[in-house]
């Protein structure tokens, strides 16, 4: 039986070892790993002497295990010792060994076993097995210790497929109990996720020879946590692992660190390095174990290629290494996003964000090797950013929870600070406020995660997500963080390529992200002056909606104490009063006059009775002219039912993603209405389709020879099923009194291939005409408005409008 105790009767009395130990710990020339090694060596000599003095015979060995076995002895560490014997043991020998240790006041974790007993215990007790993996000879028969090490390692490697999942579950349970070291104000340096216990687990994985952890920075991170632990032991005089608030200043001083905040930042940085190494390593282990488990089944299928699942005659084996496209230059491989074979990181500065966004939207992470390559080879983004870069950042943030592991991977390799230099000031910055559960930088990304669930509530989800990411960016600077953040966000937004109006909106949101909750909880909500204060701040109803969503996302990401039903109701009441006062000032801007080219297309369509179209590629500023951002497609066609859905379906068949679209009616020659649809589309991946092929498929779809819906359904059925990510449900609403000539349906949904095709078919099936449409894709969110009328060209009645909205909602699932 293993116990940890001090002598139960006699008081600890000082001796030569205690004096030597005190001198070693007080030696200013020794610190860090050197002191831990020296302390282990001093303890070795002491225990070896006790072993000799106890008259230990041949056939016994004193073995250090656990942290002591690794030579990593902190000032107040337990002594983990095994008395190993060959079966013939004087029953009084253990007492002669252990009593002097107890008398010294040292905490002793001891056991007495034969080689067979040690292996049997290890087979049943994972923690005991981990300790034995670090077995090191101290005294006695070295051959006995060598036999133990060989046997334990052989057993560990032989049972790796069974033991590693148990070890992983042990780590998850520990993290659930102790939290994440990288974010706690009073962290447990050993047991929390990213702590010293995780370093032991990574060494154990390496000992299986199945996988090894990323080494860059890992040893330094482990050493830093061990140094802090040593200082904590010396400051408190206790064997504690929790870095309490009241001890942090003294620990910082002992380590020569500027202050407690600097100490915590160093601890957090080390913990993130260890946690990320663990994530990477465990993914590798899971892939290897899954491959081993599947190998037999795959071989048996290939042996009978004409039966059951093997009818594809080799497709199973091919699928094992299949690389499925996710985005331009990015594919899925073995459950991770990796670079395509033809990817050119050195010539594609948007690639890191594109890979990250594609991975997050697919519910994957980016592989370690890919992130490393992107960090090493990709050049910085031009300023201002290309439009695609901004869009990919918004798409990444819009993935919600799936964004977190991808963001952590980018952050671990320095890509986030490269994209957003101001991020470095808030990175790992502690928040000494009991309300906050995260560091500043993690709070920002957690707020974006919360905001991703609220994108259906606002007309500009891209601005909401970016404001969520940056709302506390001023906490890295002196003074009021909201005021500092407003200044910073103006610069960041300009660098990102936002126009002046959007930059002003982002600055307003950052400057006033606390205004709603402060006003609602401190002022009389029924006082007209309170409502006027808010309306003057926000100016417009869309900006009020953005500020409301940001307020809620910020508070819920802060912690449970920052947001309650009472606070939520007060804020919602104030927002409702302010919205009522601002109502009536919205609506869409008037259409611009058609261009000469648009008029020419409309005249051609009216005279021929068929479609007329023009395409040209647009290039993104900051990108090579040979790599177009997308295609501008202008289509004119005599009005007919189902036109919008049909054309959108053809674009989806060609894997063209609709970034923006507008639809309106013209009557150029007085022969009847012509619909003019202007599209901005981009390829999901690969090259843009040939113009001639796109034109031919449009004509076939319009004359009925190409069944677009059937083709899309067949492609979807053949596509591999991925788990995907959870997204907010679509919202279809009737805009009240927004237009006198038509009924406006507003659709907010997660962008997906064929989305606009499904909307168009639903509207056509409902028997309404689409007079005008405004379609926008902002990151991963579609924000669309459709001006519809009945067959007579009149606005829909209230009940009829609700029926049409329900039909579109059902079509979107």
Asked if the model's pLDDT at residue 624 lies above 70, the reply is no
583-597, 726-740, 794-808: least confident range: 583-597
Q: Are strands 612-618 and 630-638 parallel, antiparallel or unpaired?
A: antiparallel
163-167, 486-490, 792-796: least confident range: 792-796
3-state secondary structure 202-247: HHHHHHCCCCCCCCCCHHHHHHHHHHHHHHHHHHHCCCCCECCHHH
- In this predicted model, what pLDDT tens digit does every residue of 60-119 receive, in sequence order? 999 999 999 999 999 999 999 999 999 888 899 999 999 999 988 899 999 999 999 999
Asked if the model's pLDDT at residue 617 lies above 80, the reply is no
- In this predicted model, what pLDDT tens digit does every residue of 632-657 receive, in sequence order? 888 888 877 778 888 889 888 888 88
Which pLDDT belongs to residue 317? 38
Which pLDDT belongs to residue 396? 97
9-18, 177-186, 717-726: least confident range: 9-18
Asked if the model's pLDDT at residue 736 lies above 60, the reply is yes
Phi, psi dihedral angles at 580 (to 5 degrees): -60, -35
Asked if the model's pLDDT at residue 585 lies above 80, the reply is no
Alpha carbons 179 and 787: distance in angstroms, whole number: 51
> What does the pLDDT average to over 496-506?
97
Cβ atoms of 491 and 470 within 8 Å: the answer is no
Q: Please report where in the chains the tokens 């390559």 appear, as a residue.
A: 373
Taking Cα atoms as reference points, which of 228, 216, 300, 292 lies closest to residue 264? 228
- In this predicted model, what pLDDT tens digit does every residue of 130-157 receive, in sequence order? 999 999 999 999 999 999 999 999 999 9
Alpha carbons 582 and 391: distance in angstroms, whole number: 30
Higher pLDDT among residues 215 and 448, named by residue: 448
Asked if the model's pLDDT at residue 796 lies above 50, the reply is yes
Alpha carbons 133 and 151: distance in angstroms, whole number: 10
Work out the number of other CB atoms within 10 angstroms of the CB of residue 584: 10
Higher pLDDT among residues 433 and 676, named by residue: 676
Which pLDDT belongs to residue 310? 34
> What does the pLDDT average to over 445-467?
96
Higher pLDDT among residues 627 and 430, named by residue: 430
Q: Please report where in the chains the tokens 């690389």 appear, as a residue.
A: 323
Asked if the model's pLDDT at residue 569 lies above 50, the reply is yes
Which pLDDT belongs to residue 592? 65
Which pLDDT belongs to residue 5? 40
Cβ atoms of 267 and 257 within 8 Å: the answer is no
Beta strands in 347-482 (DSSP E): 365-366
Alpha carbons 564 and 561: distance in angstroms, whole number: 7
pLDDT band, residue 618 (cuts 50/70/90): low
Asked if the model's pLDDT at residue 306 lies above 70, the reply is no
Q: What is the DSSP letter of 114?
A: E
Average pLDDT, the chain: 88
227-231, 337-341, 504-508, 720-724: least confident range: 720-724
Q: Please report where in the chains the tokens 């998850």 appear, as a residue.
A: 172
């Amino acid at each position: 039986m293993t116990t940890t105790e001090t002598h139960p009767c006699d008081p600890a009395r000082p001796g030569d070892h205690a004096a030597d130990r005190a001198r070693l710990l007080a030696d200013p020339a020794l610190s860090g790993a050197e002191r831990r090694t020296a302390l282990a060596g001093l303890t070795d000599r002491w225990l070896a002497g006790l072993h000799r003095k106890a008259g230990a015979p041949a056939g016994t060995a004193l073995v250090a295990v656990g942290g002591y076995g690794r030579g990593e002895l902190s000032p107040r560490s337990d002594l983990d010792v095994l008395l190993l014997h060959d079966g013939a043991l004087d029953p009084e020998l253990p007492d002669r060994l252990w009593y002097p240790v107890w008398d010294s006041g040292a905490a002793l974790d001891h056991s007495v076993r034969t080689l067979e007993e040690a292996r049997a215990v290890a087979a049943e007790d994972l923690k005991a097995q981990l300790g034995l993996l670090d077995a090191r000879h101290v005294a006695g028969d070295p051959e006995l210790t060598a036999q133990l090490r060989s046997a334990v390692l052989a057993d560990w490697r032989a049972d790796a497929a069974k033991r590693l999942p148990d070890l992983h579950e042990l780590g998850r349970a520990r993290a659930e109990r102790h939290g994440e070291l990288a974010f706690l104000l009073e962290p447990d340096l050993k047991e929390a996720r990213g702590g010293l216990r995780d370093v032991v687990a990574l060494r154990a994985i390496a000992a299986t020879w199945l996988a090894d952890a990323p080494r860059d920075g890992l040893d330094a991170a482990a050493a830093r946590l061990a140094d802090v632990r040593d200082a904590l032991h010396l400051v408190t005089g206790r064997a504690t692992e929790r870095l309490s608030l009241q001890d942090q200043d003294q620990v910082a001083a002992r380590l020569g660190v500027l202050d407690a905040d600097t100490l915590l930042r160093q601890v957090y940085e080390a913990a993130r390095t260890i946690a990320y190494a663990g994530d990477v390593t465990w993914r590798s282990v899971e892939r290897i174990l899954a491959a081993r488990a599947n190998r037999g089944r795959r071989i048996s299928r290939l042996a009978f290629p004409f039966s059951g699942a093997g009818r594809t005659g080799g497709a199973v084996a091919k699928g094992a290494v299949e690389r499925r496209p996710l985005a331009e230059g990015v594919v899925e491989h073995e459950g991770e996003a990796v670079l395509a074979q033809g990817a050119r990181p050195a010539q594609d500065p948007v690639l890191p964000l594109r890979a990250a966004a594609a991975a997050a939207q697919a519910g994957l992470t980016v592989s370690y090797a890919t992130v490393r390559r992107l960090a090493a080879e990709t050049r910085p983004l031009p300023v201002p950013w290309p439009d695609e870069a901004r869009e990919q950042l918004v798409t990444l943030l819009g993935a919600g929870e799936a964004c977190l592991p991808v963001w952590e991977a980018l952050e671990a390799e320095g890509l986030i600070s490269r994209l957003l230099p101001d991020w470095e000031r808030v990175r790992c910055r502690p928040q000494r406020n009991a309300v906050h559960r995260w560091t500043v930088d993690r709070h920002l990304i957690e707020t974006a995660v919360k905001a991703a669930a609220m994108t259906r509530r606002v007309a500009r989800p891209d601005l909401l997500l970016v404001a969520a990411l940056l709302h506390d960016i001023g906490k890295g600077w002196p003074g009021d963080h909201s005021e500092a953040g407003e200044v910073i966000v103006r610069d960041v937004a300009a660098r990102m390529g936002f126009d002046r109006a959007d930059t002003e909106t982002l600055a307003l949101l950052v400057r006033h992200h606390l205004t709603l909750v402060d006003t609602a909880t401190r002022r009389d909500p029924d006082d007209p002056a309170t409502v006027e204060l808010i309306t003057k701040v926000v100016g417009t109803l869309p900006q009020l909606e953005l500020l409301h969503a940001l307020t809620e996302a910020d508070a819920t990401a802060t912690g449970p104490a920052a947001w309650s039903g009472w606070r939520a109701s007060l804020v919602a009441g104030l927002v409702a009063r302010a919205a009522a006062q601002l109502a009536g000032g919205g609506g869409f801007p008037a259409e611009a006059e058609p261009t000469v080219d648009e008029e020419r297309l409309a005249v051609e369509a009216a005279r021929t009775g068929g479609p007329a179209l023009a395409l040209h590629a647009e290039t993104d500023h900051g990108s090579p002219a040979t790599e177009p951002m997308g295609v501008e497609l202008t289509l004119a066609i005599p009005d007919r039912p189902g036109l919008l859905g049909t054309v959108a379906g053809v674009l989806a068949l060609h894997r063209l993603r609709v970034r923006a679209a507008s639809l309106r009616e013209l009557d150029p020659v007085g022969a009847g209405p012509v619909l003019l649809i202007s599209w901005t589309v981009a390829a999901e991946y690969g090259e843009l389709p040939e113009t001639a092929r796109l034109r031919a498929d449009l004509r076939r779809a319009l004359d009925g020879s190409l069944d677009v819906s059937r083709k899309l359904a067949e492609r979807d059925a053949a596509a591999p099923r991925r788990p995907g990510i959870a997204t907010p449900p679509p919202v279809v609403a009737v805009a009240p009194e927004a237009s006198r000539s038509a009924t406006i349906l507003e659709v907010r949904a997660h962008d997906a291939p064929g989305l606009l095709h499904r909307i168009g078919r639903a509207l056509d099936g409902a028997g309404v005409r689409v007079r005008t449409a405004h379609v926008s894709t902002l990151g991963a969110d579609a924000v669309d408005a459709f001006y519809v009328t009945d067959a007579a060209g009149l606005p829909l009645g209230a009940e009829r409008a609700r029926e049409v909205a329900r039909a579109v909602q059902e079509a979107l699932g």
